[in-house]
Amino acid sequence: MMRIVLGASLLLASPAFAEVRPGPGQDVVEANCGACHTTDYIRMNSAFLTPDAWKAEVGKMRAVFGLPIDDSVAAEILQYLTTEYGPKK
Amino acid sequence: MKRRVMLAGLGAVAATGAKAAEKPKWMSPALPDGTRDEATLVRLPGKQPLIQLTDRPPNYETPIDAFADPITANDRFFVRYHLAGVPTMEELKDWSLTVGGDAADRQVKFGMADLKKDFAQVEVTAVCQCSGNRRGLFDPHVAGVEWGYGAMGNAVWRGVRLKDLLAKAGVKADAVEVWFAGADGPVMPATPPFRKTLPVALAQRDDVIVATTMNGQPLPHLNGFPARLIVPGWTGTYWMKHLTSIEVSSKPMTNFWVQKAYRVPAGMFPVDLPFASQNDSATWPITEMVVNSLIASPVDGTKVGRSGFTVRGVAWDRGHGIKTVEVSFDGGKSWKPAKLGKNLGNYAFRTFSLASGALPPGPCVVSARAVSNKGETQATTLLRNPAGYHDNVPQTLTVTVA
């Protein structure tokens, strides 16, 4: 297991860096997606990914990148992403 | 080498207090709304302000005005990582490079002093362009890092020939590929580490080098310090940073990064050196760049005087060199040849410029298109491919003459 060094200045991270939108599932998204990458990846990829495209992304994170979540958590994440960051109606 | 990594959000390093994040001066309106909303202008340690798309892993692009120059300064050069385990400079102090593999006669190990002392030092000026540069301009958008125009740069790379390193290990007759690993890594052990491979024929080419300097200086930390692979003509995915391991292999590499990612539809884009061991019937690995050009000045949406302005930019291709660049001041109805700058080599940016002359007031739609010495031209319509690669549709920008 790799040891991890967090830059000391990270502790001073500015609240000016916006986070993902509040909504059901936000905490699950931040805890799981945010473990390996900034949730700015989600904002960056919005708002154009269809529910199927978001499903493919979550599937890739599980199957390829080893995100250790079960189907119910995956469903919760997918619901959040499609609701908050899906294409505008 | 120790595998301690830095996972700090690099952007946070630059943030001070609760000051509002600074926005880039210009981003293409064609980018996704979410990208334009989340991107910030950030000054990383040792860098001028770059456009931060993500801080963890670090993905930063170069503002477009930098491309009026043939050489991209180290402190303006873009930064791209797949995985957030970035080795710190402290951890890279005891860096070494191992060369071996099942198709090598022996395994050898080199420190920085060995590279400088025991090998011919060679130089190549070459464009490093992320495969996904301009992905964010795809219409409709595709998933990924939503780069604008600035995931590229041109530098003078100096170091040792890859083939000279391979010769020390001895390349066996059954060698098919040469595999590369760097010191950067994933956050979770279950994530496949970023590894890439080259066909053995390319690895033997004189200008494929392991660079230890960039524009006369040690490589910047986030551009691969202390040594990175330089593959002139091929997209940046092969330019492994923090290079620690080279393996001559009798088998094709099998991993996500090679077999699933970085693929293009078979035959869609021209290549001189097929990566046969990685091709399948439907897709090929992305390899050689496509001919392209970029206008750095003027910037889209700006105002210019009636006496006119000079278009400045760069053109590049996959190694044949640039034959001509033409510029249009009327939305593509007519084209005039631009003046080309000094030739820095076939893998380098070629600058171009052209003065508009006096212009009537109102909008002026400017465009540029390059032709390579091979006769290859920029696409007139986007050659769509699933991962959003190789967008070389001529850029169109509008300035207002007043």
CATH code, A57: 1.10.760.10
- For B292-319, how does the pLDDT look when each residue is reduced to its tens digit (9 = 90+)? 999 999 999 999 999 999 999 999 999 9
Question: A37 vs chain B: nearest CA distance in angstroms?
Answer: 5
- For B346-368, how does the pLDDT look when each residue is reduced to its tens digit (9 = 90+)? 999 999 999 999 999 999 999 99
pLDDT, residue B21, reads 86
Q: Is the pLDDT of residue A25 over 80?
A: yes
Strands (DSSP E) contained in B252-361 are 263-265, 283-285, 292-297, 303-304, 310-316, 322-328, 336-337, 339-340, 350-355
Are B75 and B174 a contacting pair, CB within 8 Å?
A: no
pLDDT, residue B398, reads 98
pLDDT, residue A88, reads 77
Average pLDDT over residues B176-205: 97
Question: Contact A65/B190, CB-based, under 8 Å?
Answer: yes
Q: Please give the share of chain B, as a percent, with pLDDT higher than 90.
A: 95
Bridge partners of residue B228, in order along the sequence: B211
Per DSSP, B240 falls in state -
Chain A contacts of B34, Cβ < 8 Å? 42-47, 85
CB pairs under 8 A between A and B: 134
Examine residue A42 and state whether it is found in any structural domain, yes or no: yes
Question: Contact B53/A18, CB-based, under 8 Å?
Answer: no
Question: Contact A2/B35, CB-based, under 8 Å?
Answer: no
Question: A24 vs chain B: nearest CA distance in angstroms?
Answer: 20
**Domain housing A75:** 23-85
- Please name the residue of chain B whose CA is at the shortest distance from the CA of residue A55: B143
Tell how far CA A20 is from the center of its chain. Answer: 8
Q: Is the pLDDT of residue A11 over 80?
A: no
Burial of B21 from C-beta contacts in 10 A (0-12 / 13-18 / 19+): middle
Average pLDDT over residues A71-77: 98
pLDDT, residue B9, reads 54
Examine residue A1 and state whether it is found in any structural domain, yes or no: no
Confidence label for B10 from pLDDT (cuts 50, 70 and 90)? low
- Structural domain count of chain A: 1
Question: Contact B34/A41, CB-based, under 8 Å?
Answer: no
Question: Contact A14/B17, CB-based, under 8 Å?
Answer: yes
Examine residue A15 and state whether it is found in any structural domain, yes or no: no
pLDDT, residue A18, reads 55
- What is the average pLDDT score of chain B? 95
Examine residue A66 and state whether it is found in any structural domain, yes or no: yes
Chain A contacts of B8, Cβ < 8 Å? 5-7, 9-10
Chain A contacts of B88, Cβ < 8 Å? 5
Query: Regarding the domain delimited by B1-285, which CATH topology (the fold level of the hierarchy) does it fall under?
Result: Sulfite Oxidase; Chain A, domain 2 (3.90.420)
Question: Contact B37/A12, CB-based, under 8 Å?
Answer: no
Examine residue A5 and state whether it is found in any structural domain, yes or no: no
Confidence label for B6 from pLDDT (cuts 50, 70 and 90)? low
Question: Contact B186/A14, CB-based, under 8 Å?
Answer: no
CATH number of B292-401: 2.60.40.650
- For B251-306, how does the pLDDT look when each residue is reduced to its tens digit (9 = 90+)? 999 999 999 999 999 999 999 999 999 999 999 999 999 999 999 999 999 999 99
The full set of domain ranges for chain B reads 1-285, 292-401
Average pLDDT over residues B208-223: 98
How many Å apart are CA B291 and CA B303, to the nearest integer? 29
Q: Is the pLDDT of residue A8 over 50?
A: no
B79-80/B58-61 β-pairing: antiparallel
Dihedrals phi, psi of B182, to nearest 5 degrees: -125, 175
Average pLDDT over residues B178-200: 97
Q: Is the pLDDT of residue B30 over 60?
A: yes
Question: Contact B143/A12, CB-based, under 8 Å?
Answer: no
- What is the average pLDDT score of chain A? 85
Residues of A contacting chain B (CB within 8 angstroms)? 1-7, 9-10, 12-18, 35-38, 40-49, 53, 56-57, 64-68, 85
pLDDT, residue B7, reads 53
pLDDT, residue B141, reads 98
First-to-last C-alpha distance (Å) of chain B: 60
Are B315 and B325 a contacting pair, CB within 8 Å?
A: yes
Q: Is the pLDDT of residue A17 over 90?
A: no
